[in-house]
Amino acid sequence: MADRLKIMTQKFSQSILLIITTAWLLVATYLIFLYAPQEMTMGEVQRIFYIHVPAAWTAFLAYFILFGASVAYLWKRSPGADALAQACGEVGFTFCTVVLVTGPLWAKPVWGIWWTWDARLTSTFVLWLLFVSYLMLRSYVLNPGRAATLAAVVAIMGFVDVPIVYMSIRWWRTQHPQPVIAGGEGSGLDASMWVTLLVSWGALLCLYAFLVRERLALAARQRELSALRREWSATAAKEERG
Amino acid sequence: MRNLKIIWAIFAKDLRLEWRHRETLASMCVFGLLVVFIFNFAFEPAREETLRLLPGLLWIAFAFAGILGFNRAFAAERENSSLEGLTLAPVDPGAIYVGKLLANLLFLGIAEAVIVFAASLWYNFSFLPVLGRFVLVVFLGTLGYAAVGTVFGAVSANTRMREVMLPVLQFPVAVPIFIGAIEATTGVLRGEPLSVYAGWVNLLAGFCVVFLVLSYLLFEYVLEE
């Protein structure tokens, strides 16, 4: 009875979250396409910025939460922390992919090039590789009982590395400067642009939360299923003997 | 004190094992030589070009030789359940890490020496004028690389795709090492004063400190059952 109530509450809160997310995304879409003014130099294509930048922020946030969950798992060994880490890994990877796809789509018409190896882009690509390696590791570990611990170790080492990577590449880029391309996205944003950007980020954060919770629910169902299977095979074995 | 004994024991064991057939060491050297060899088709070795590309070439060769070496460190332990034996041994896991690290450093160092010798021969470049600084920079870079490589080697020994898993895990994390090492090596080989590339040496040293400590602390989680 208590279990069923728990599941029902969870489903209810997920539905509420879904409604909020959808509504917020619709509001954000309106702001992005109709409310935000057209950018002076770049034109309409600049609107990708309102997806691209919040997605990047969300991807980095996901990795941070992944790190936190990994530390919590090594400390407390709770399956919930491990499930959160995996969920953040998968959803964070998706958001990071969005960043790396929308980025070049924006760069080509505006800068004339698809890609450049400056500090920000290279670090984002490294983050993407860190997500990929994390997910690959989780899939390929031979003994599933060890996957959580090994993945946690890898996540912690990766997270500590991210600021070092960023600093080293930025440093390297000051030594080998590339032609100045754009004045940085943050430079001189109109107030209405800030509003659009932040609302857009809010929408993406809601989407992130919804996806992570869905993934957590899936992980919980899988855990229950394996527990039931184990129980069933144990009972079956006992009946066979007895 | 006991830890030092354990470290020496692990280190000596790995050395003895490797000495029997010297397979991994040979493959590391050959692979490194092949990289240096193939690279010569990429450019015309005039003096200025050589100086520009040699540091990158050397570190690419070191990187790939390292992958082979770090895989060896724990792949061999999979046979005869010696990995479980290591885990069960009542010793500080950090000591096991340091022992493995030292063995990795030695083997990679030998391979690097062979690679550097070949490169100096084939590209007519003398490392002798700057040998001391060169060795120092290469040592720092190798130490940082091996610090993460030893941990990730242990992690990937537990996976299905172990030979491939190691570079996938390692290269993103080792980016600062490669940037710092290549920049510092460039400075050394060009005979520039230390102040020019001291920042990169600091980056390497910082990376080593951070990741040696972190790996030492995390290694028990990698070994546990």
Say yes or no to pLDDT of B124 above 60: yes
Q: Give every CB contact of residue A116 below 8 A, 6+ residues apart in sequence.
A: A107, A178, A181
Q: Give chain B's radius of gyration (CA, Å).
A: 18
Count structural domains, chain B: 1
Angle at CA A20, nearest 5°, toward A52 and A218? 85
Q: Give chain A's radius of gyration (CA, Å).
A: 22
Instruction: Kindly state the DSSP code that residue B43 receives in the 8-state scheme.
Output: S
Q: Mark yes or no for CB contact B183/A161 under 8 Å.
A: no
The parent domain of residue B15 ranges over 2-223
Contact between residue A240 and residue A119 where contact means Cβ atoms under 8 Å apart: no
Contact residues, chain A, for B179 at CB < 8 Å: 168-169, 171-172
Contact residues, chain B, for A172 at CB < 8 Å: 179, 183
Say yes or no to pLDDT of B214 above 70: yes
Q: Closest approach of chain A CAs to the CA of B98, in angstroms?
A: 17
Share of chain B above pLDDT 90, in %: 58
Q: State residue B47's pLDDT score.
A: 64
Q: Where are the domains of chain A?
A: 47-176+190-241
Which of A80, A57, A56, A50 has its CA nearest to residue A68?
A80
Q: State residue B138's pLDDT score.
A: 96
Tokens of A115: 């890609």
The predicted model scores a pTM of 0.89
Contact between residue B168 and residue A133 where contact means Cβ atoms under 8 Å apart: yes
Rounded to the nearest integer, the mean pLDDT of chain B is: 89
Q: State residue A189's pLDDT score.
A: 73
Q: Closest approach of chain A CAs to the CA of B163, in angstroms?
A: 12
Q: Closest approach of chain A CAs to the CA of B71, in angstroms?
A: 15
Tokens of A59: 């991807």
Q: What is the pLDDT of residues B179-194, one digit of tens each?
A: 999 999 999 998 888 8
Shortest CB distance from B175 goes to which of A74, A126, A171? Answer: A126
Say yes or no to pLDDT of A134 above 80: yes
What is the rounded average pLDDT of the residues B153-178? 90
Say yes or no to pLDDT of A39 above 80: no
Say yes or no to pLDDT of A102 above 80: yes
Q: What is the pLDDT of residues B60-110, one digit of tens each?
A: 999 999 999 998 888 877 776 777 777 788 888 899 999 999 999 999 999
Residue with tokens 């602390």: B217
**Other Cβ atoms closer than 10 A to B95:** 21
Q: State residue A145's pLDDT score.
A: 77
Angle at CA B136, nearest 5°, toward B134 and B140? 120
Q: How far apart are the first and last CA of chain B?
A: 26
